[in-house]
């Protein structure tokens, strides 16, 4: 006679419990993966992260390390943290591949009023770490410096041709790039003097000299402005200061001669004009001929 089958209820309950736990853990894992994927997708859409990626691409165009074109990986390592001031930071680690080699990008996005913005972008390639944002800032500064130099040179050329109105926009643009550039302020001082805007011209020249007390062009510009204001004593003093620094500055000799002439000091004016001519200043030669 067959023995009837018996069921261990405790065992069955345990098996059911284990199965439920496995299903639960699987569900949690799946939810975690989905949440992580959604987070990665959201980071890719952040304007700050896109700015960081663009910074890498810009640096590679200037000085290739990975080699262009550069692609960054879809999957990211993410970490939320706070800096020393308790600001929220999102730290992102990503893979980058170029035409030459591959590397790792470490990006720190800081929470600001304008959303998460990149404060650190480091590129590691074969153990070498490059500060991408610092490199780009240096490249931008060089580019702006060259652009400003070109604008100042264009303005100066027009000034030398006696076209101050046409020169003014170039000087203004140069100052807009760097409001504390003494060369740009000096050329605008000359322009404003030629346009008979003497108080503004003097302010520009004085500011240029504050930034660079020994700038030759600024000293000459100030002396010319003082001459235009008929402040002969100040003009002579400023021109003399320049002559002390550079005795071969023919323009400074000529400017001082003009101020001596304005002050009624004919003998000193003739001597100064002759010296300006001897130092190669054409205006000094013309003044000497006129005075003699």
- Average confidence (pLDDT) over 2-24: 49
Which residues 6+ apart lie within 8 Å of 136 measured at CB? Answer: 55, 58, 59, 62
User: Does the pLDDT at position 18 exceed 70?
Assistant: no
Residue 18 included in any domain: no
Q: What integer best gives the mean pLDDT of the chain?
A: 84
Report yes or no on whether pTM surpasses 0.85. no
Neighbouring C-beta atoms of residue 151, cutoff 10 Å: 23
Q: Which residue has the higher pLDDT, 16 or 242?
A: 242
- Per-residue pLDDT of 156-205, as tens digits, reads 999 999 999 999 999 999 999 999 999 999 999 999 999 999 999 999 99
The answer to whether residues 128 and 116 touch, using CB atoms and an 8 Å cutoff, is no
Residue 13 included in any domain: no
Question: So what's the pLDDT on residue 187?
Answer: 98
Residue 25 included in any domain: no
The answer to whether residues 71 and 100 touch, using CB atoms and an 8 Å cutoff, is no
Domain encompassing residue 279: 230-292
Phi and psi at 109, nearest 5°, equal -105, 125
User: Does the pLDDT at position 1 exceed 50?
Assistant: no
Q: Which residue has the higher pLDDT, 87 or 253?
A: 253
Distance of CA 209 to CAs 88, 273, 283, Å? 44, 25, 24
Residue 240 included in any domain: yes
Task: Select from 178, 208, 229 the last residue of a domain.
Answer: 229
Handedness of CA 50, 52, 56, 57 (dihedral sign): positive
Could you tell me if 55 and 118 lie in one domain? yes
The closest of 216, 212, 233, 220 to 193, measured between CA atoms, is: 220
Domains of the chain: total: 3
CA 274 – CA 255 distance, rounded (Å): 12
Distance of CA 190 to CAs 147, 155, 164, 218, 283, Å? 20, 10, 8, 9, 16
pLDDT tier at 236, thresholds 50, 70, 90: very high
Could you tell me if 225 and 188 lie in one domain? yes
Residue 176 included in any domain: yes
The CATH number linked to 82 is 3.10.450
- Per-residue pLDDT of 53-98, as tens digits, reads 888 888 888 888 887 788 777 777 777 788 778 888 888 888 888 8
The closest of 209, 248, 206 to 226, measured between CA atoms, is: 206
């Amino acid at each position: 006679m067959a023995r009837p089958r018996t069921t261990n209820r405790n065992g069955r309950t345990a098996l059911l419990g284990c199965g439920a736990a496995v299903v639960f853990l699987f569900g949690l894992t799946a939810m975690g993966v989905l949440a992580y994927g959604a987070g990665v997708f959201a980071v890719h859409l952040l304007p700050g992260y896109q700015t960081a990626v663009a910074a890498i691409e810009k640096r590679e165009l200037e000085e290739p390390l990975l080699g262009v074109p550069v692609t960054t990986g879809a999957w990211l390592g993410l970490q939320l943290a706070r800096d020393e001031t308790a600001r929220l930071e999102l730290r992102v680690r990503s893979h980058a591949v170029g035409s030459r080699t591959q590397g790792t990008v470490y990006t720190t996005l800081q929470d600001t009023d304008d959303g998460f913005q990149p404060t650190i972008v480091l590129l590691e390639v074969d153990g070498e770490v490059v500060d991408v944002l610092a490199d780009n800032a240096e490249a931008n500064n060089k580019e702006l410096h060259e652009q400003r130099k070109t604008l100042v040179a264009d303005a100066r050329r027009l000034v030398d041709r006696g076209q101050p109105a046409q020169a003014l926009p170039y000087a203004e643009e140069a100052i807009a790039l760097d409001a504390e550039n003494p060369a740009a302020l000096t050329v605008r001082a000359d322009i404003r003097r030629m346009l008979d805007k003497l108080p503004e011209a003097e302010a520009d020249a004085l500011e240029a000299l504050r930034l660079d007390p020994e700038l030759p062009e600024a000293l000459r510009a100030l002396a010319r402005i003082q001459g235009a204001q008929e402040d002969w004593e100040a003009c002579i003093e400023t021109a003399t200061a320049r002559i002390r620094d550079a005795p071969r500055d023919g323009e400074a000799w000529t400017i001082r001669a003009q101020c001596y002439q304005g002050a009624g000091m004919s003998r000193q004016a003739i001597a100064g004009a002759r010296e300006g001519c001897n130092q190669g200043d054409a205006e000094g030669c013309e003044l000497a001929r006129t005075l003699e």
